[in-house]
Structure 1
Amino acid sequence: MLLVRKNYVLPTLVLILTTYFLFSTLPPGGEVPYVTKSSEPNKAESTKDDNRIHWSKHPEQHPIVDYISLPTSSPSPIPQIQYGFSPESWLDSLWRKKKRNAVKEAFKHAWMGYKDNAWLRDELSPLSGGYRTSFAGWAATLVDSLDSLLIMGLLDEFEEALRAVERIDFSTTESIQINVFETNIRYLGGLLGAHDLTDGKYPVLLKKATEIAEFLYGSFDTSNRMPQSRWEWTRSAAGLSIQPSGNTILAELGSLNLEFTRMSQLTGDPKYFDAIQRISDNLETAQKQTQVPGLWPMLVDAQSLRFVDTRFTIGGMADSTYEYLPKEHMLLQARTPQYQRMYELAITPIKERLLFRPMTKDGDDILFSGNINVASRSSQKKIEPQAEHLKCFLGGTVGIGAKVFNRPEELSVARKLTDGCIWAYDIMPTGIMPETLYLSPCEDMSDCQWDEQKWHRDIRNRSPKHSNIAETDAAAKALIEKFKLPPGVTEISDPRYMLRPEAIESVFIMYRITGDKKYQDAAWRMFKNIEKTTRTKYAHAAINDVRKTKPAQIDYMESFWLAETLKYFYLIFSEPDLISLDEYVLNTEAHPFKRPS
Structure 2
Amino acid sequence: MISLRRYTVFIALAASILLLGGYFREPIVSQARYRFRSQTPLLAAPGEPPAQPAPTGPFRWDVVPTQYPVAGPLAQLPAGPPQKLPRVQHEFQKESEDHAKTRKERQAAVRRSFQRCWYAYEQHAWGHDELAPLSGGAKDGFGGWAATLVDNLDTLWIMGMNEDFTKAVEAAVNIDLGVSTTETINVFETTIRHLGGFLSAYDMSGDVRLLEKAKEFGEMLLKAFDTPNRLPITRWKPQKALMGNQEADPVVLVAEIGSLTMEFTRLSQVTGDSKWYDAVARITRLFDKQQEKTHLPGMWPVVVNAKVAELTEDTFFSLGAMSDSLYEYFPKMHAMLGGLEPVYKKLYDGSMSTAIKNNLYRPMTPSNEDILMSGNVRATSQELARLDPQGQHLVCFAGGMFALGGKLFNEPAHVEIGKKLTDGCIWAYKALPLGIMPEVFNMVACDSRVSCEWDEEKWRREVKDRHAEKIDVDEMIKHLRLPKGFTDISDRRYILRPEAIESVFILYRITGEQYLQDAAWDMFVAITNATTTELANAAVSDVTFSAAELAQGTTGGTTQFDSMESFWMAETLKYEPHVLSLDDWVFNTEAHPFRRMLPA
Under a length normalisation based on structure 2, what TM-score does the superposition of the two structures give? 0.87
Q: Report the alpha carbon displacement of residue 596 of structure 1 after superposing the two structures with TM.
A: 2.1
Deviations 1:388-409 (A, max 9, x none): 0000000000000000000012
Aligned-residue CA RMSD (Å): 1.8
- Residue 63 of structure 1 is matched in structure 2 by 69
- Residue 182 of structure 1 is matched in structure 2 by 189
Match of 1:383, SS state, is strand
Q: Report the alpha carbon displacement of residue 237 of structure 1 after superposing the two structures with TM.
A: 1.9
2:376 to 371, 377, 392: 371
Q: Report the alpha carbon displacement of residue 48 of structure 1 after superposing the two structures with TM.
A: 9.1
The one-letter amino acid paired with 1:386 is Q
On the 8 A contact 1:55/1:172 being kept in 2, the answer is no
* Structure-2 separation of matches of 1:168 and 1:387: 39
Deviations 1:455-504 (A, max 9, x none): 001101111xx0x436xxxx221111111111110011111100000000
On the 8 A contact 2:129/2:144 being kept in 1, the answer is yes
* Structure-1 separation of matches of 2:502 and 2:393: 11
* Structure-2 separation of matches of 1:286 and 1:49: 37
* Structure-2 separation of matches of 1:297 and 1:127: 38
1:298 to 302, 308, 311: 302
On the 8 A contact 1:145/1:562 being kept in 2, the answer is yes
On the 8 A contact 1:541/1:557 being kept in 2, the answer is yes
* Structure-2 separation of matches of 1:264 and 1:544: 41
* Structure-1 separation of matches of 2:305 and 2:283: 13
* Structure-1 separation of matches of 2:341 and 2:169: 36
Q: Report the alpha carbon displacement of residue 47 of structure 1 after superposing the two structures with TM.
A: 13
* Structure-2 separation of matches of 1:438 and 1:334: 38
Matching of residue 344 in structure 1 with residue 349 in structure 2: yes
1:251 to 219, 243, 255: 255
- Residue 271 of structure 2 is matched in structure 1 by 267
Q: Report the alpha carbon displacement of residue 167 of structure 1 after superposing the two structures with TM.
A: 2.0
Are residues 236 and 91 of structure 1, via their aligned partners in 2, closer, same or farther at CA, if it must alter by over 3 Å? same
* Structure-2 separation of matches of 1:447 and 1:51: 65
* Structure-2 separation of matches of 1:171 and 1:205: 18
* Structure-1 separation of matches of 2:34 and 2:491: 41
Task: Tell me which structure has the larger Cα radius of gyration.
Answer: 1
Instruction: Pick which of 425-434 and 68-77 moved more.
Output: 68-77
Deviations 1:63-105 (A, max 9, x none): 1231000011442221000101000112211110000000000
On the 8 A contact 1:333/1:595 being kept in 2, the answer is yes
Instruction: Pick which of 503-512 and 163-172 moved more.
Output: 163-172
Match of 1:288, SS state, is helix
Structure 2, unaligned stretches of length 5 or more? 1-30, 41-58, 551-557
- Residue 537 of structure 1 is matched in structure 2 by 534
Deviations 1:259-307 (A, max 9, x none): 0000110001010000000000001111110000000000010111222
On the 8 A contact 1:250/1:318 being kept in 2, the answer is yes
Are residues 47 and 325 of structure 1, via their aligned partners in 2, closer, same or farther at CA, if it must alter by over 3 Å? closer
Matching of residue 492 in structure 1 with residue 489 in structure 2: yes
User: 1:133-532 counterparts in 2 under 5 A?
Assistant: 133-198=140-205, 200=206, 202-238=207-243, 240-306=244-310, 307-375=312-380, 380-463=384-467, 466=468, 468-469=469-470, 475-532=472-529
Are residues 416 and 425 of structure 1, via their aligned partners in 2, closer, same or farther at CA, if it must alter by over 3 Å? same
Deviations 1:566-593 (A, max 9, x none): 102xx13xx2xx1110000100000000
Structure 1, unaligned stretches of length 5 or more? 1-43
Match of 2:345, SS state, is helix
The one-letter amino acid paired with 1:585 is V
* Structure-1 separation of matches of 2:381 and 2:412: 36
The one-letter amino acid paired with 2:560 is Q
Match of 2:490, SS state, is strand
On the 8 A contact 1:68/1:270 being kept in 2, the answer is yes
On the 8 A contact 1:232/1:242 being kept in 2, the answer is no
On the 8 A contact 1:511/1:517 being kept in 2, the answer is yes
On the 8 A contact 1:251/1:318 being kept in 2, the answer is yes
Deviations 1:415-464 (A, max 9, x none): 1000000000001110000001100111222121110110001101111x
Give the % identical residues.
Answer: 44
The one-letter amino acid paired with 2:494 is Y
Q: Report the alpha carbon displacement of residue 381 of structure 1 after superposing the two structures with TM.
A: 2.8
Q: Report the alpha carbon displacement of residue 376 of structure 1 after superposing the two structures with TM.
A: 9.0
Are residues 347 and 233 of structure 1, via their aligned partners in 2, closer, same or farther at CA, if it must alter by over 3 Å? same
- Residue 115 of structure 1 is matched in structure 2 by 122
The one-letter amino acid paired with 1:590 is A
* Structure-1 separation of matches of 2:172 and 2:66: 29
- Residue 588 of structure 2 is matched in structure 1 by 587
Under a length normalisation based on structure 1, what TM-score does the superposition of the two structures give? 0.87
The one-letter amino acid paired with 1:565 is T
